[in-house]
Structure 1
Amino acid sequence: MADHTASRTPAPLVVEPDDEGGREMLHALRLAALLRIIGDRPAAGEPLFLLDAGCGDGRLARALARCGHRVDAFDSDPEAVDRCRAEGGGPRYAVADLAEWHSPWLYDAVLCLDVLPRVPGGAAWETALTRLASLVRLTGTLVVTDEDVPAPVPRDDDAPRRPTATYRAVLEPLGMRYDGFAPYGFQGDRAGFHVFARIR
């Protein structure tokens, strides 16, 4: 039997279930995986300081705040940020683009989920990734989502899934060590977390 998979259009970056129960399961699995990656609070009463870059509806930011962490979150969509603020739940929200977010402090972990793969290639993507890395403190963690692929994979929206080596080529010269890829493992979804740690 012929293999036609190479000619098929790849599935969306994240297989978003079309029912509320499925969405809750996906978000719960991703939250559990992220908590394993970023670790626990250093001590009781000492939360991690986290950034959710491109927070969308704020679901992740609120969940991390419920876990006792201090969370900053931003999105480029002012209406999305207004809805997040209306929900409350602990995070501090702001309107900003990935490449323009500035902070007077560094974060224990910077999380950018489902956003970078949709940024067009070239300078805009590299600038956004470089900005995110600049916000991670020494020994801190940067987590970005994509697939673990050896070569670019085209998508319907013309923003290819980028090879792992492309992330490494940008981040490793900036003092970020690649700690590996953690797939979601949800309903055949190939996306997951690329994890980097600041070592200098």
Structure 2
Amino acid sequence: MATRWERIARATNGEEYAAAYARRFGELAAAGQDVHGEATFVTGLVDPPARVLDAGCGTGRIAVRLDELGYRVVGVDVDATMLEQARAEAPGLDWRLGDLAAFDLGATFDVVLLAGNIVPLLEPGTLPAVCERLAAHTAAGGRVVCGFGLDADHLPAGCPVTPLAQFEEAMAAAGLDPVATYGTWDRGAFEPGAGYVVTVHGRAGGPGELA
């Protein structure tokens, strides 16, 4: 059965959605645009060779960049078609097929990253389970970073909004404490009513503030 992401992606780009997704970012990079904002954000949290989990890694754009910067990266995604693109781009990296609501890699990470609207694209009713799995894969004192749209202008067509309060409730129930909230990947201020958010949470008992 197709996931919410697959249904939306196919409706937008057809059966070749994974190749189209990778090609779009390649074209942006070739045009001189910075497509590495998420990876740059991670560099402000931990230094290489810290362990980073790219949860919902898709075609691997962020994981590949983090590997280039010296981080030890694992990418996990529920979409085998997207992972095929990732493996073709970087066959030497550690790519895992897994559902974020149930995956168990048997390891913890200094940073767990969810970018590219992973949160609103989750299957209905799975947010609490996903947050629990994120917490289980976060090392003591580690960080969970999530960036996602909060309105239709910042989400794919047909993707429902996940209210920020609902997300924060699920993170708290999983034992993940709020550390910082931004409006952009370059740490711009988050304003009430903003259409995009980047959140940073830490494992309970970890450091309370970012340097």
Would the TM-score normalized by the shorter structure come out above 0.5?
Answer: yes
Deviation of 1:63 after TM superposition, in Å, equals 0.5
Q: Deviations over 1:25-79 (max 9, x none)?
A: 342233222321x2223xxxxx111110111110100111111111110111212
Which letter maps to 1:195? V
SS of structure 2 residue aligned to 1:118: coil
Superposed counterparts of 1:7-46, under 5 Å: 20-21=28-29, 25-36=33-44, 38-41=45-48
CA shift, 1:181, in A, is 1.6
Q: Percent identity?
A: 22
> 1:118 matched to which residue of 2?
121
Tell me the residue number matched to 2:15: none
Aligned residues: 171
Question: Where does residue 162 of structure 1 map in the other structure?
Answer: 163
Letter in 2 for 1:57: T
The answer for the alignment partner of 2:174 in structure 1 is 174
State the 1:185 CA deviation: 6.4
Alpha-carbon deviations, 1:92-134, whole Å to 9, x = none? 001111112211111111111121111244x222212221122
| Counterpart contact for 1:109–1:142, Cα < 8 Å | yes
Return the structure number with greater relative CO, CA threshold 8 A, min gap 6.
Answer: 1
On the 8 A contact 1:71/1:90 being kept in 2, the answer is no
CA contact (8 A) 2:127 2:167 kept: no
| CA distance 1:72–1:19, change in 2 (3 Å) | closer
1:28 corresponds to which letter in structure 2? H
Q: Which amino acid aligns with 2:70?
A: G
Q: Once superposed, what is the RMSD of the aligned Cα atoms? A: 2.7
Q: SS at 2:64's partner residue?
A: helix
Provide the TM-score with structure 2 as the length reference.
0.70
Separation of aligned partners in 2, 1:64 and 1:90 = 13
Q: What pairs up with 1:13-162 in 2 under 5 angstroms?
A: 20-21=28-29, 25-36=33-44, 38-41=45-48, 47-88=49-90, 90-114=92-116, 115-121=118-124, 123-147=125-149, 153=151, 156-162=157-163
Distance in 1 separating the partners of 2:72 and 2:31 = 25
Q: 1:23 to 1:162 in 2, by over 3 A?
A: farther
Normalized against structure 1, the TM-score is what?
0.73
Q: Where does structure 1 lack aligned partners over 5 or more consecutive residues?
A: 1-15, 42-46
Higher alpha-carbon Rg: 1
Aligned mates of 2:67, 2:27 — CA distance in 1:
25
